[in-house]
Amino acid sequence: MESYESVILVKNEVFVFKIPPKTSNRGYRAADWNLQEPQWTGRMRLVAKAEELIMKLEDKTSGELFAKCPIDKYPGVALESVTDSSRYFVVRIQDDNGRTAYIGLGFGDRSDSFDLNVALQDHFKWLRKEQEGEQAPQQNLDLGFKEGETIKINMKITKKDGSEGSKPRRGVGAGGGGLLPPPPGGSRLPPPPSPQHAPSASAAVAPPAANSEWGDFNSASAPSQQQPVTPANQQNWVQF
């Protein structure tokens, strides 16, 4: 699969200097360069393609390539900081034939050189994590059940109206009472009579039977309910 080129950092103004050969192991010093007269001024782009990282120095107007610097690690031989300033670096450029040369690279502002340091560190940190992930052994997870192993599932059933369903209790009637149903083969009470066969109110209440012993007393001593009490009757009662 073809890898895409991604631009990590762009700085529109960088300065290129011709540097003298290194004479000691103490490192390069920017004070030894002619900083007032840079050899070239242009744009710097830091471009990543798969695991390859290249610094490209290009013309600001036309985009023509001036020089390129493949960077395999940082800090390293391809890009090295000077000992007396944070704005200048020694860059190893390389042509298509593999020939190399060393030039001085500088920024007008310290924030630009700081951005370059951060971009390089982040790229190689990401690359290191990617390589460690590829080298790590892949663990195959066994998600099958072992012999004798069971699983318990709690299920909740919801009715169509949104209420939670439950198993009905035995012996609970439609009215919600707590009466148990009669046992099989047991006697049952007769059903209540229908309204058309129910006895009328007049037939339901029978008149009391006449008592032979008290009947004469009731008829002789108590006045009739239908005969009003008159003064004549009242006199008879007083005489008695």
Whichever domain contains 98, its CATH number is: 2.30.29.30
Task: Please indicate, yes or no, if residue 93 is contained in any of the structural domains.
Answer: yes
**Residue 165 or residue 46, greater confidence:** 46
Between strands 5-17 and 100-106, the pairing is antiparallel
pLDDT above 50 for 163: yes
Task: Please indicate, yes or no, if residue 33 is contained in any of the structural domains.
Answer: yes
Task: Please indicate, yes or no, if residue 37 is contained in any of the structural domains.
Answer: yes
Range of the domain at 21: 5-131
Q: Per residue, what are the HEC states of 123-182?
A: HHHHHHHHHHHHHCCCCCCCCCCCCCCCCCCCCCCECCCCCECCCCCCCCCCCCCCCCCC
Task: Please indicate, yes or no, if residue 35 is contained in any of the structural domains.
Answer: yes
Q: Furthest-apart CA pair in the chain: how many Å?
A: 168
Express as a percent the part of the chain with pLDDT over 70: 59
**Residue 206 or residue 2, greater confidence:** 2
Q: Which of 62-66, 74-78, 99-103, 160-164 has the lowest mean pLDDT?
A: 160-164
**Residue 48 or residue 140, greater confidence:** 48
Structural domain count of the chain: 1
Task: Please indicate, yes or no, if residue 170 is contained in any of the structural domains.
Answer: no
H helices of the chain, in order, are 110-135, 201-204, 215-221, 231-239
At 204, the pLDDT band (50, 70, 90 cuts) reads very low
**Residue 60 or residue 130, greater confidence:** 60
CA atoms within 13 A on the CB side of 223: 10
At 133, the pLDDT band (50, 70, 90 cuts) reads confident
Phi and psi at residue 46, in whole multiples of 5°? -105, 115
Task: Please indicate, yes or no, if residue 27 is contained in any of the structural domains.
Answer: yes
Task: Please indicate, yes or no, if residue 52 is contained in any of the structural domains.
Answer: yes
Task: Please indicate, yes or no, if residue 231 is contained in any of the structural domains.
Answer: no
